[in-house]
């Protein structure tokens, strides 16, 4: 592949109206618009396939983008990024097989809605929440990137550990009412996350002589197993049972009353997702989990979560798509990727001869506005695709299980194997599916296990780094104000509900 041709850099220009006008003029180019449309369509399809993700799609298509000018190239990759995150919700809702890890939380309530014949309502809600979250995060990126990047830059290992503790504090309430079982499930997820080589000591743990486990258990095979394979095994127990689904209800989109009811949840989760996305290496999956938990915490009917609550779809979808715009903040302002996909886009910027950092906002405003407009346009585009396609996609919920689930099983095997081309990942997926079925039978939910697995590596690594920084003195956390805020929020999250119940009991006497 020939190296990209060096291009003359435009003179420095302030981030103001002239740069905006230049970027708008560029977007009248039908080639750029066409690339954004193609990137959006490919992203939705790739995101919907179990085992694939937007980061894999961006990595595969990056070599082709090198033959384009910088603005069309990065616009194409940014559109692919946004749409891929949204696409995972389609299969998460319809067949309980999240197309991408960030869509795992969407399946908690999206799939029960599809089972009740409300697939179109769930898909439409996911579309509107995704577009709103993505648009808000891009607007934040547009107006406040340098300031927010400085906030993210102040995060060190102690702050990341405190943030992970805050996430773990949500285990008791993230799914169902069995707080003890949720905590046990979360601890199981943390235990699974310890498999592999300890990066601090170099000791391998729980690998049992299997070389493929030295890098740890990959998240995607476990995710596919806990959701899709567990559901497949559950459906196999009821093959002889006759079921009926109201077709018109399955194809019905959410009403204006539905949107008004979840609007506050969407705004709250959009803010959460944007903030989490700004933090380097956090990403959409953590944002979706926290967005789901906060939607349940603020809901007037938390008992409906896990049974088909519409807020349970809106919360994680707004958060995980908001994290896409947030992840571009440290990528562009600091040169630190905010997610795996942002890391690939960062590589694309560097290959194009551009150096992300503070100077980029002064010397390349047209490029930045091009990225902003690409993400905004992609969000607007998959609003159309999502609402129009919801009625088409929702028909999948009407396919008889005897025809649907064999096809789903094939996708599961392909998705698990395609990650590392390893049969070990396939066996991990099967084991996770059997484990999920057993846990489900005894009242354990998948959500806490997923949360523990997602946060396990972050907890361990950031704690080890923090203790090295503090010379093995726990008191060092007392000198980190941001970390203390997260610790206080975690304590409030754990003790808040019991304290409120105790106060209400005292008042009732």
pLDDT tens digits for range 231-258: 778 777 765 554 444 444 556 778 888 8
Distances (CA, A) of 38 to 81, 346, 374: 12, 21, 12
Q: Between 456 and 151, whose confidence is greater?
A: 456
* Among the listed residues 281, 264, 255, the one whose alpha carbon sits nearest the alpha carbon of residue 318: 264
Binned at pLDDT 50, 70 and 90, residue 336 comes out as low
Distances (CA, A) of 265 to 133, 259, 271, 328: 11, 10, 10, 23
**Which of 37-41, 75-79, 166-170, 300-304 has the lowest average pLDDT?**
166-170
Task: Tell me the longest C-alpha to C-alpha distance in the chain.
Answer: 80
Per-residue pLDDT, 358: 58
Q: Using the predicted structure, report yes or no on whether residue 10 has a pLDDT greater than 50.
A: no
Per-residue pLDDT, 265: 92
Mean pLDDT of the chain: 76
Per-residue pLDDT, 395: 65
pLDDT tens digit string along 435-485?
A: 988 888 888 877 778 778 877 877 888 888 899 999 888 888 988 988 898
Binned at pLDDT 50, 70 and 90, residue 224 comes out as confident
d(CA 108, CA 344): 30
The stretch 153-173 carries a mean pLDDT of 77
**Which of 5-19, 112-126, 390-404, 409-423 has the lowest average pLDDT?**
5-19
Tokens for 160? 């990341």
Q: Using the predicted structure, report yes or no on whether residue 280 has a pLDDT greater than 60.
A: no
Distances (CA, A) of 317 to 64, 295, 370: 30, 11, 25
Per-residue pLDDT, 244: 43
Per-residue pLDDT, 143: 72
Query: Is 182:173 a contact under the CB 8 Å cutoff?
Result: yes
Per-residue pLDDT, 365: 66
The stretch 347-353 carries a mean pLDDT of 70
Per-residue pLDDT, 87: 78
* Among the listed residues 68, 117, 74, the one whose alpha carbon sits nearest the alpha carbon of residue 94: 117
User: Residues with Cβ < 8 Å from 198, sequence gap 6 or more?
Assistant: 204, 205, 460
Per-residue pLDDT, 434: 92
CA torsion 446→447→450→451, rounded to 10°? -150
**Which of 99-103, 192-196, 382-386 has the lowest average pLDDT?**
99-103
Q: Between 59 and 236, whose confidence is greater?
A: 236
Q: Between 445 and 172, whose confidence is greater?
A: 445
pLDDT tens digit string along 207-223?
A: 888 888 888 887 778 87
Binned at pLDDT 50, 70 and 90, residue 176 comes out as low
Burial of 244 (0-12, 13-18, 19+ CB in 10 A): exposed
Per-residue pLDDT, 413: 83
3-state secondary structure 340-404: HHHHHHHHHHHHCCCCCCCCHHHHCHHHHHHHHHHHHHHHHHHHHHHHHHHHHHHHHHHCCHHHH
Tokens for 109? 């309530």
Domain boundaries, the chain: 20-508
Q: Between 83 and 158, whose confidence is greater?
A: 158
d(CA 26, CA 32): 8
Per-residue pLDDT, 363: 66
- Model pTM score: 0.66
Per-residue pLDDT, 451: 74
């Amino acid at each position: 592949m020939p190296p990209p041709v060096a291009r003359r850099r435009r003179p420095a220009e302030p981030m103001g109206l002239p740069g905006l006008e230049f970027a708008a003029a560029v977007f009248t180019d039908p080639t750029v618009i066409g690339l954004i449309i193609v990137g959006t369509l490919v992203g939705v399809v790739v995101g919907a396939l179990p085992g694939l993700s937007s980061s894999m799609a961006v990595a595969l298509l990056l070599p082709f983008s090198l033959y384009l000018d910088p603005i069309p190239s990065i616009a194409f990759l940014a559109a692919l990024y946004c749409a891929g995150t949204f696409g995972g919700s389609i299969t998460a809702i319809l067949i309980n097989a999240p197309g991408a890890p960030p869509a795992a939380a969407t399946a908690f309530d999206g799939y029960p809605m599809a089972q009740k014949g409300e697939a179109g309502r769930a898909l439409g809600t996911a579309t509107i929440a995704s577009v709103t979250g993505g648009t808000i995060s891009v607007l934040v990126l547009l107006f406040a990137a340098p300031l927010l990047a400085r906030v993210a830059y102040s995060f060190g290992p102690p702050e990341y550990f405190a943030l992970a503790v805050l996430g773990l504090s949500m285990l008791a309430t993230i799914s169902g009412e069995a707080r003890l079982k949720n905590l046990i499930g979360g601890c199981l997820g943390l235990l699974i996350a310890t498999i592999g080589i300890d990066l601090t000591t170099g000791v391998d743990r729980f690998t049992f002589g299997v070389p493929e486990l030295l890098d740890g258990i990959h998240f995607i095979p476990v995710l596919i197993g806990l959701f899709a394979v567990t559901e497949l095994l559950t459906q196999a127990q009821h093959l002889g049972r006759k079921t009926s689904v109201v077709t018109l209800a399955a194809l019905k989109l959410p009403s204006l009353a539905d949107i008004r009811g979840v609007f506050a949840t969407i705004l709250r989760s959009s803010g959460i997702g944007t903030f989490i996305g700004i933090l380097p290496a956090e990403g959409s999956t953590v944002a979706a989990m926290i967005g789901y938990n906060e939607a349940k915490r603020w809901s007037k009917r938390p008992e409906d979560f896990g049974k088909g609550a519409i807020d349970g779809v809106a919360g994680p979808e707004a958060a995980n798509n908001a994290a896409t715009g947030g992840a571009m903040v440290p990528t562009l302002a600091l040169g630190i990727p905010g997610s795996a996909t942002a890391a690939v886009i960062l590589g694309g910027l560097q290959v194009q001869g551009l150096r992300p950092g503070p100077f980029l906002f002064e010397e390349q405003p047209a490029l930045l506005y091009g990225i902003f407009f690409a993400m905004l346009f992609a969000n607007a585009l998959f609003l159309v695709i999502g609402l129009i396609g919801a009625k088409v996609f929702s028909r999948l919920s009407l396919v008889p299980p005897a025809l649907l689930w064999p096809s789903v099983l094939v996708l599961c095997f392909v998705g698990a194997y395609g990650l590392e081309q390893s049969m070990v990942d396939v066996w991990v997926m099967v084991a996770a599916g059997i484990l999920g079925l057993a846990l489900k039978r005894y009242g354990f939910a998948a959500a806490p296990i997923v949360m523990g697995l997602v946060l396990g590596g972050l907890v361990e690594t950031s704690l080890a780094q923090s203790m090295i920084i503090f010379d093995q003195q726990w008191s060092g956390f007392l000198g980190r104000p941001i970390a203390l805020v997260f610790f206080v929020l975690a304590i409030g999250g754990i003790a808040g509900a019991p304290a409120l119940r105790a106060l209400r009991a005292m008042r009732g006497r």
